[in-house]
């Protein structure tokens, strides 16, 4: 199985599997910052539908930040990994301290990426939720549950690479799931990219600005 060259190629390949949504009114592509926005940009561009963001923050275990004890999302939804919480013997006070720190970062990013813009109305829309890959799927599960509370018409999960088991588990949370590559064994998302360099806040803002015209009616040519 060949590597994806970078997130942009991943987005273009993912878009090929989603062409039934091309130009369809009421469809929004939501990228999970930061890396997911690069993939989502290419999807939204190919489908010519609006691009927006949906923020999720992993709640990392004290001293083991990569180990997720849960996650929080825009709108205040929190999903906990109780097995990890119990195994680490975390108190409620510790959990609240972690959550408060990540909530502050979530709000900082929301301001940085949106500026004064309001989030879009998601009710009755088809939402294509994109990230650059999944490992355990904890953050994506939190995002999907939070998005479901907005009463969309349909939720489509779209990722370039993930373990087969994670995709199968998340299929129950959505109306459709598109997982481009499900290699086994799966150790980390970055191993399936030739270039998995970090995405900056500035790049996210730039992509959102460039995507502002996606999904808008084309102006008719002026008569000669």
| Domains of the chain (ranges, CATH numbers) | 7-58+121-213 (3.40.50.2020)
Statement: the pTM of the whole predicted model exceeds 0.75: yes
The mean pLDDT value for 168-184 works out to 96
183's CB contacts (< 8 A; 6+ apart) are 1, 161, 192
What's the order of all strands across the beta sheet hosting 56-61? 56-61, 64-73, 78-80
Q: Three-class SS of residue 61?
A: strand
The mean pLDDT value for 149-176 works out to 96
What are the two backbone dihedrals, phi and then psi, of residue 15, each rounded to the nearest 5 degrees? -60, -35
Q: What is the mean pLDDT of the chain?
A: 92
Q: What is the pLDDT of residue 218?
A: 57
Q: Are 128 and 20 in contact (CB under 8 A)?
A: no
Residue 79: pLDDT over 90: no
The mean pLDDT value for 178-194 works out to 95
Q: What is the pLDDT of residue 208?
A: 96
Q: What is the pLDDT of residue 17?
A: 98
The mean pLDDT value for 153-176 works out to 97
Residue 16: pLDDT over 70: yes
The mean pLDDT value for 41-58 works out to 96
Residue 112: pLDDT over 70: yes
Tokens matching residue 74: 């825009």
Tokens matching residue 204: 């996210």
């Amino acid at each position: 199985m060949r590597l994806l060259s970078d997130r942009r190629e991943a987005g273009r390949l993912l878009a090929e599997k989603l062409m039934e949504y091309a130009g369809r009114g009421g469809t929004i592509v939501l990228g999970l910052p930061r890396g997911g926005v690069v993939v989502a940009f290419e999807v939204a561009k190919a489908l010519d539908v609006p691009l927006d963001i949906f923020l999720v923050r992993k709640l990392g275990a004290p001293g083991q930040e990569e180990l997720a004890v849960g996650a929080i999302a825009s709108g205040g939804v929190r999903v906990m990994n109780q097995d990890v919480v119990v195994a680490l013997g975390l108190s409620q006070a510790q959990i609240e301290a972690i959550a408060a720190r990540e909530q502050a970062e979530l709000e900082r990013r929301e301001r940085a990426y949106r500026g004064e813009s309001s989030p879009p109305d998601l009710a009755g829309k088809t939402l294509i939720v994109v990230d650059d890959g999944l490992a355990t799927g904890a953050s994506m599960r939190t995002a999907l549950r939070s998005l479901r509370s907005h009463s969309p018409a349909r939720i489509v999960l779209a990722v370039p690479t993930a373990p087969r088991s994670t995709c199968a588990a998340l299929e129950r949370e959505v109306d459709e799931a598109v997982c481009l590559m499900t290699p086994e064994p799966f150790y980390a998302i970055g191993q399936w990219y030739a270039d998995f360099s970090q995405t900056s806040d500035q790049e996210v803002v730039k992509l959102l600005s460039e995507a502002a015209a996606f999904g808008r009616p084309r102006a008719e040519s002026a008569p000669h």
